[in-house]
Amino acid sequence: MRQFTEYLLLVSLIKKKFPMKYFTSFILILFFSIVRFATAEKPDHEIVIGTRHGQLRFSPEVFAVKPDTQVKLILDNSDEMIHNLVLAKGSSKEIERLSNLALKLGEKGMEMGFVPEDPSIIAAIGLVQPGKKASVHLVAPLKIGDYPFVCTFPGHSLTMRGVMKVVDDPSSVNLAEIKIASIGTTPKNGVLEVGDEARVVRVHISGVDSGRSIAVGLPGGFNYLFDADKLMVRMGWTGSFLNVSRDRRSRGGGPCSILGTKFEVGSSEFPLRVGNANKLPIVRFNGYSRLGNPEFKYEIDGVKVSQTTTGSMNGRGLTYGFKVMNATTDLYFLIKPEGMRISTTAGEWEPVSGYVRIPASESSNFFISVEQI
């Protein structure tokens, strides 16, 4: 409306200064300009991509548009975690490459929204806080085909993926054909499976010297065991989740066993230290959230920490996410470097010392990826 009022004022001024024959031509040009302006503001497709609370999944995971049309893409983040959205040309391998590039941004990651600069990216929405929305306008590619999108926030790209289908007739695409299997909570033949939501089970795992083990199964086949006594991840594995048959037969007294392929997690002792890498801290467990991918909360030498864990890109490692409140000294994350690849979004990996040193100024929110080579 404001732009239209400005046009009327311009018309009245020009009418006073120019002859009628020029004025008529000007009115025609102005008319078509207004029409073009009005239609440019309204996209051909407006797509809202939501997030499944605590599941590290987009919703919907597929949408269809016509070639060479105006698209407004909205990311509506109803989750409790930060997310972004990167739309690119290429296959799933391209998505994996972009996700690795995002992780390598290191301390610049948060500033850049974990969106790397790369020619394969068609459009991107930077970091969107929980409960917020953001959007981007783009022109759909001319070429018919599938164009993947992903959340490149560290640890999210394994399951937060989707596809933009460019087709001549979007109504012909059966979006309902992409379904996520729902697995019941009752184990079959003693085997617990993971469906579209994370599973959190308090168990006694065979060979683990802890009475407070918490097994977490993530969508996509990544699993880990958190020890509430030692406040650390004790093991990780890919594939199926748990065999609880001995526990059920013994009415809660028998040990369970992991299924799938085990991989190293980088440390055999509590890895996070405050102020001094060589000093074992005084720790206290403050519980964990059971909704979606769990967030474990604890204190180390009085500093409050929240930790999440997700799978790494190569399928043989984990990405640890940390939120630290009011640290006044540097933090250290100890890792056994043999046969491991380490990436961090804050501080530096010091292989000779065997730790990632995180300055206090960068410790409020950071991620460390540990992968078995």
Per-residue pLDDT of the chain (373 residues; tens, 9 = 90+): 444 455 455 545 555 555 555 555 555 555 555 544 444 568 899 999 999 876 778 999 999 999 999 999 999 999 878 899 999 998 877 888 898 888 888 778 888 999 999 999 999 999 998 889 999 999 999 999 999 999 988 878 877 889 999 999 998 887 766 543 333 444 456 677 787 778 888 877 777 777 688 889 887 788 999 988 888 899 889 888 888 766 444 444 567 888 888 888 888 788 999 999 999 899 999 998 866 778 999 999 999 999 999 887 666 888 899 999 989 999 999 998 788 888 888 998 999 899 999 999 999 989 998 888 8
Query: Among 176, 199, 221, which residue terminates a domain?
Result: 176
pLDDT on residue 75: 96
What sign does the dihedral 163-164-169-175 (CA atoms) show? positive
Residue 185 domain-assigned?
A: no
Residue 287 domain-assigned?
A: yes
Q: Please indicate, yes or no, whether residues 208 and 129 belong to a single structural domain of this protein.
A: no
Q: Please indicate, yes or no, whether residues 196 and 109 belong to a single structural domain of this protein.
A: no
Query: Among 176, 208, 238, which residue terminates a domain?
Result: 176
pLDDT on residue 255: 73
**pLDDT 10s digits, 52-102:** 876 778 999 999 999 999 999 999 999 878 899 999 998 877 888 898 888
pLDDT on residue 243: 81
State the residue range of the domain holding 70. 45-176
Residue 342 domain-assigned?
A: yes
pLDDT on residue 190: 64
Distances (CA, A) of 27 to 15, 31, 38, 162, 333: 10, 6, 16, 47, 69
pLDDT on residue 25: 55
pLDDT on residue 185: 40
Spatial strand order of the sheet with 133-139 comes to: 57-59, 45-52, 70-76, 133-139
Q: Please indicate, yes or no, whether residues 29 and 52 belong to a single structural domain of this protein.
A: no
- Identify the CATH number of the domain in which residue 150 sits: 2.60.40.420
Instruction: Quote the number of domains for the chain.
Output: 3
pLDDT on residue 337: 78
Q: Please indicate, yes or no, whether residues 204 and 272 belong to a single structural domain of this protein.
A: yes
Residue 278 domain-assigned?
A: yes
Residue 139 domain-assigned?
A: yes
Q: Please indicate, yes or no, whether residues 213 and 125 belong to a single structural domain of this protein.
A: no
pLDDT on residue 254: 60
Q: Cβ–Cβ contacts within 10 Å for residue 335, how many?
A: 22
Q: Please indicate, yes or no, whether residues 217 and 274 belong to a single structural domain of this protein.
A: yes
Q: Please indicate, yes or no, whether residues 286 and 225 belong to a single structural domain of this protein.
A: yes
Q: Please indicate, yes or no, whether residues 222 and 339 belong to a single structural domain of this protein.
A: yes
Q: Please indicate, yes or no, whether residues 258 and 358 belong to a single structural domain of this protein.
A: yes
pLDDT on residue 357: 95
Q: Please indicate, yes or no, whether residues 115 and 28 belong to a single structural domain of this protein.
A: no
Beta-bridge partner residues of 61: none
Residue 183 domain-assigned?
A: no
Q: Please indicate, yes or no, whether residues 223 and 339 belong to a single structural domain of this protein.
A: yes
Residue 186 domain-assigned?
A: no
Distances (CA, A) of 260 to 220, 243, 316: 13, 10, 12
Distances (CA, A) of 204 to 201, 225, 238, 337: 10, 10, 19, 28
Query: Among 176, 207, 236, which residue terminates a domain?
Result: 176
Q: Please indicate, yes or no, whether residues 31 and 51 belong to a single structural domain of this protein.
A: no
Residue 65 domain-assigned?
A: yes
How far, in Å, CA of 367 to CA of 333, rounded? 11
